[in-house]
A and B are shown apart, each in its own frame.
Chain A
């Protein structure tokens, strides 16, 4: 695909001749890619500790791209393809260069939401291409939520049968595998998010008794709230469900959500209140939330997966395993939250200033670009715990008709912030490069 990126968009395509139509000296005839590690990783999946560093030397007649692992080679190929440009006469040129490059942050993600609006496979794949252009390496797939459940589960087919918008708005196991493989070939990890116990209205359609029935006095109202944390059946379900998820998604991490749990329905349910008494939780429903989350974390751990959670799980003092990743998303005073999270010894990723679904008029890329993730009070050790961040495109007002122009090229500003050095901050220079990069992405 890099050949196409470099030579495919030729303004003056010469018929019958290759891209080296104008034979000018000096001439570059070959890019040699050398992967130095004994196990290059071509048949494995990228992970948090993968090496993405590369060394690119462009000189005649042969350019050399060296990397420890295939993931670095991919990043280097991306850069090389962006160095090749066409002059007014149809010749392809590349400047003599020596580049030593590696990412500042290891976790550089994009969140897509396929529950508020279904996104056709094509849309997701195009987005993975765009991510590769910008050296993003994590697709955070917020695959289900209140509105719809498009994930077709093998163990629980009724979840999507009853919970998806329609039969046409589903991701089959084949679809999911395609996304994972397409991503892998671009060095992108796919971290699925099955957000519980809140954000689960669509789960209740296909799984009876999973959600908490809300009450008005003695009577059930007919509506449902978060997942019911007091029933054993809930945990039987979750055990089986996450067994499937753990085997379908190869990444070491699963995102378990845990955000915005509304306690009112729990409070209204007599069985839940009874449980609270028995457990000695008093009227502190955060303790009930913790109780639930802890059990889920244990289930997921038993499948040898690590987990990412939204910040509420940390804020509500749930007992977390030391290698939990906490995603900071609330904009208010997020620097303080980063201090708290890393201060408590947990790894953090930053999304709060990068909610790209919050569109506004003008050049808002500048404010995303100007974020300095390590601008929070903390020790060197703490700062090392911030492993990266995510640009989030929540789907309330987004579907395939407007996803691409809404996400890009604004997300490119986040991509550079997460990859490049801390001192790459000049807005004028970034503007010049971003406008070129945008045209290249088109």
Chain B
């Protein structure tokens, strides 16, 4: 038996001090996530300005606790001052290409917390399915979900996700991507999508949202009124990517409209026309917005506090795009090198790790406009059977 005490005084309490708690509020882009952790003999102290920092500190603390061969839990003496480099650290999940059961989303939120992610970008609907149960337009999910009984997110499900996320300091930013990526909206909202034409006759297929009808904007207003109320975050993601102009071009009423408006043959102008009206709707609802980079690339008039989401890799090099976006005065989010759905053999985590988001030519104000980035797990080949090992 040894007389030597290998450990210091056992610690039984971690004191958590938060200057301005805000425990009942929602995290935001401006939330303070800094914390100080002080571990010494007989004293464990975690202090933070806001509860969000306390959460980050708790996460760190939980990771510092080790266990020796005898089963004794221990922690090293340490002083930590920590805060995030970027305020927007997000993860995108796609619940339209494949439905993800609630449990899978909640599990993901847990692992996000382990990794100090603070934004859940919910790409909730798209071409293949519309699982979001809308109370304003119940037909959308009734007709558009893979299965209206089993493959939907009810209002309760959505609230569960938002609260579960909040308790982990994670913002939920919903994306209702338009005018492209909307095929699943069609069945539940007749007249919303553009009917494509084959010569003089409708072909029976549909394209992006029809930008020339007033009913479209009435619909969008009502839908986003609901979405703005359901999702408490200040920001909504409005999509705006990959709009295929073929269907618009085939539709005679749209051609007539183009002439009327003096847009000539430039369908980007029509796209801008739609987006601008949509952005006005969202603004009038008191929300801010994030858009995919095409909206910026196509010279749509954007509010100065728009956030542009850079995702294209085979276009201009993404760092160049980051420079352009921030130079034009907009804030930027980086996802291009972080499309984790694009799997490959070997230790591809290294390529993701080595990305330096600020490696472009620009002045300090520009670089400040890079608010962070998102790892994206698009759902074409992903469902609950393989989500976790593919993402983490």
Contacts and interface: CB of A to CB of B under 8 A. Distances in A.
Interface of A: 357-363, 397, 401-402, 404-406, 442
B344 A360 contact: yes
B255 to A, nearest CB: 36
Contact of A360 (B341, B345, B390): B345
Interface string B333-363: 0000000011111110000000000000000
A42 B381 CA distance: 41
A360 B385 contact: no
B343 A359 contact: yes
B386 to A, nearest CB: 4
B94 to A, nearest CB: 15
Contacts of B381: 361-363
A397 B346 contact: yes
Interface in B302-354: 341-347
Nearest to A402: B389
A405 B344 contact: no
A170 B344 CA distance: 30
A264 to B, nearest CB: 24
Chain A interface mostly: loop
A13 to B, nearest CB: 16
A397 B390 CA distance: 12
A127 to B, nearest CB: 15
A169 B381 CA distance: 32
Nearest to B342: A361
Given A361-B343, A401-B388, A404-B385, 6 more contacts: A361-B342, A362-B381, A397-B346, A397-B347, A402-B389, A405-B389
B345 A405 contact: no
A361 B385 contact: no
Contact of A359 (B341, B344, B385, B388): B344
A363 B381 CA distance: 8
A401 B389 CA distance: 7
Most chain A CB inside 10 Å of its own CB: which residue of B342, B381, B389: B389
Contacts of A397: 345-347
3 smallest beta-carbon distances between A and B, as pairs: A402-B389, A405-B386, A361-B342
B147 to A, nearest CB: 11
A361 B346 contact: no
A355 to B, nearest CB: 9
A401 B385 CA distance: 11
Nearest to A397: B346
Contacts of B386: 402, 405-406
B68 to A, nearest CB: 16
A357 B390 CA distance: 14
Contacts of B346: 397
19 contacts: A358-B345, A359-B343, A360-B344, A360-B345, A361-B342, A361-B343, A361-B381, A363-B381, A397-B345, A397-B346, A397-B347, A401-B389, A402-B389, A402-B390, A405-B385, A405-B389, A405-B390, A406-B389, A442-B385
A194 to B, nearest CB: 27
A402 B390 CA distance: 8
A361 B381 CA distance: 9
A332 B377 CA distance: 33
A211 B135 CA distance: 71
Interface in B13-51: none
Nearest to B150: A11
A374 to B, nearest CB: 28
A362 B343 CA distance: 9
